Copies of this chain bind each other. A is one copy, B any other.
Amino acid sequence: MTQSLRAWVEALGGELIGSPDLSIQGLAPIESAQEADLCFLSHPKYAAQLASTRAACVIVAPNMREAAAARPNAPALSATWVVDKPYLTFAQVTQLWRPRVRPDAAAGIHPSAVVDAQAVVDPSAMIGPLCVVERGARIGAGTQLHARVTVGQDCVIGARCIVHSGVVVGADGFGFAPRGDGSWEKIEQLGAVRIGDDVEIGANTCIDRGALSDTVIGEGVKLDNLVQIGHNVQVGAHTAMAGCAGVAGSAKIGARCQIGGGAVVLGHLELADDVVINASTTVMRSIKHPGQYTGVFPIDDNADWEKNAVTLRQLHKLRDRIRALELALQNTQGNTK
């Protein structure tokens, strides 16, 4: 199974240095690419890899043009593909290559899926085996539900979405009023979930329905596996969240944000557009300005961590002792002057 470069360059653009008839047999990372493989150089800081790679073809940015074309370990037949955004072009190549590895998902509803008669599934959508699509739900054109996905009543998924196995869209939000005796009264969750176009949702991720209005996921949002989205949350377009991130109820996340793995956003907060939250960080206050934010205890060997952790619990006393020292020193200096 080989592929000439010609069709790819014609489809995706850029300049090819070398033969367009070169046969490509695989895609690989630059450091492990073999002599019939295509790879890419993502960043000039990895330029040294050009000296060692044996790849048949490397996708590079214009400023790497000469270095790439002259790479010493290239096979006799080789090529260099110059584009503005090598990583983006490589992503597009993976899409052209994918049908060789896995066939396109066939449109239609798998016979084992349970789709309510009052759900609306676009004929071009794919509903995988053992999915459940409840009454009033709507699945957009070209959207793929992989195996064992649940879409609850009245929830709407846009076009061209990819929903991975085990996802639950539209379970009840976590809403209870205290009865006053320690027990809880259920607040029925009367809203639904609305998911825009081109959204991808990772395996076993959960998106709860809203309490009174809808939970809303903007277009182009990417959620990794095991992410939790609480009721009434709004996620702006093209925001990406890594695995095990959690967003509590009624939080409003801006567009183009990046939320790291295991990060937690508390309820009712707002994050501006273009906010980056690093992994394992808990967002405890609204963030009004774009930027990168972190809050995670640095890892250490356990013995050192224990010493620091004990001291940390007395940190405000240390501060008081420093203040006392400053005052005492001023007095002492006054006395000695």
A215 close to chain B: CB less than 8 A: no
Asked if B179 contacts A88 (CB within 8 A), the reply is yes
Cβ 8 A contact of A301, one of B266, B293, B306, B308: B293
Q: Measuring CB to CB, which residues of chain A are less than 8 angstroms from any residue of chain B?
A: 27-29, 32, 85, 87-88, 90-92, 94-95, 97-98, 101-103, 110, 112, 114, 128-130, 132, 134-135, 146-148, 150, 152-154, 162, 164-166, 168, 171-172, 174-180, 182-188, 190, 198, 200, 202-204, 206, 208, 211-213, 220, 222, 224-226, 228, 230, 237-238, 240, 242-244, 246, 248, 255-256, 261-262, 264, 266, 277-285, 291-302, 304-316, 318-319, 321-322, 325-326, 328-329, 332-333, 335-336
Chain B residue at minimum C-beta to C-beta distance from A185: B91
Q: Taking A166-B168, A278-B302, A326-B325 as contacts, is the C-beta distance between A184 and B238 under 8 angstroms?
A: yes
Chain B residue at minimum C-beta to C-beta distance from A177: B91
Asked if B203 contacts A171 (CB within 8 A), the reply is yes
Q: Taking A174-B222, A291-B301 as contacts, is the C-beta distance between A243 and B238 under 8 angstroms?
A: no
Asked if A174 contacts B88 (CB within 8 A), the reply is no
Instruction: Count copies of this chain in the complex.
Output: 3
Asked if B299 contacts A308 (CB within 8 A), the reply is no
Asked if B294 contacts A299 (CB within 8 A), the reply is yes
Q: When chains A and B are docked, how far (Å) is the Cα of A132 from the Cα of B113?
A: 12
CB neighbours of A226 from chain B (8 A): 204, 206, 226, 228, 246
Asked if A90 contacts B177 (CB within 8 A), the reply is yes
Q: When chains A and B are docked, how far (Å) is the Cα of A130 from the Cα of B132?
A: 8
The smallest C-beta distance from A133 to any residue of chain B, in angstroms, reads 9
The smallest C-beta distance from A184 to any residue of chain B, in angstroms, reads 6
Closest 3 CB pairs of A and B: A295-B299, A91-B177, A171-B203
Since A94-B186, A261-B266 are in contact, a sample of 11 more A-B pairs with Cβ atoms closer than 8 Å, ordered by chain A residue number, is A165-B171, A166-B171, A176-B240, A183-B220, A224-B228, A228-B244, A228-B261, A242-B248, A297-B312, A298-B312, A307-B315
Q: When chains A and B are docked, how far (Å) is the Cα of A185 from the Cα of B255?
A: 16
Chain B residue at minimum C-beta to C-beta distance from A221: B184
CB neighbours of A186 from chain B (8 A): 91, 94-95, 162, 200
CB neighbours of A313 from chain B (8 A): 298, 300, 304, 308
Cβ 8 A contact of A114, one of B130, B190, B298: B130
CB neighbours of A112 from chain B (8 A): 112, 114
Q: Taking A264-B261, A296-B295, A316-B307 as contacts, is the C-beta distance between A333 and B325 under 8 angstroms?
A: no
Q: When chains A and B are docked, how far (Å) is the Cα of A293 from the Cα of B152?
A: 36
Cβ 8 A contact of A238, one of B134, B183, B282, B298: B183
Chain B residue at minimum C-beta to C-beta distance from A170: B165
Q: Taking A101-B190, A279-B282 as contacts, is the C-beta distance between A308 and B315 under 8 angstroms?
A: yes
Chain B residue at minimum C-beta to C-beta distance from A153: B102
A-B contact pairs, 15 of them (CB 8 A): A91-B176, A91-B186, A91-B188, A95-B188, A98-B190, A101-B190, A128-B132, A148-B148, A182-B238, A248-B261, A261-B266, A264-B280, A297-B297, A312-B312, A325-B329
Asked if A171 contacts B164 (CB within 8 A), the reply is yes
Asked if A187 contacts B94 (CB within 8 A), the reply is yes
Q: When chains A and B are docked, how far (Å) is the Cα of A186 from the Cα of B198?
A: 10
